[in-house]
Amino acid sequence: MRHPSIHHAFVNWLETAGSRLAVGVRVTGRTGQHVELSFDDITPALGAFLSSRELTVFVDWEGQNWDSPLSLDVTPRRCAGGYICECCKPKGRTVFPTLDALRGDHLFEPFLAWVNEELAVADVIGLYGSPSDGYTQAKLLHTEDLTRGSPGRVIAPCTTKSAG
Nearest CA to 69 out of 34, 35, 114 is that of: 114
**Residue 139 within a domain:** no
- Write out pLDDT tens, residues 11-21: 999 999 999 99
pLDDT tens profile 119-141: 999 999 989 888 888 889 999 99
Residue 130 lies in a domain: no
- The verdict on residue 137 lying in a domain is no
Residue 135 lies in a domain: no
Residue 82 forms part of a structural domain: yes
Q: Identity (one letter) of the amino acid at 79?
A: C
Q: The pTM is what?
A: 0.89
> Residue 19 in contact with residue 135, Cβ under 8 Å?
no
DSSP 65-92: EEEEEEEEE--EEEETTEEEETTS-GGG
Residues 85-102 have a mean pLDDT of: 94
What does pLDDT average to over the chain? 89
Count of domains for the chain: 1
Supply the range of the domain harboring residue 109.
4-121
133 within a domain of the structure (yes/no): no
Distance of alpha carbon 70 from alpha carbon 117, whole angstroms:
12
Give the pLDDT of residue 151.
67
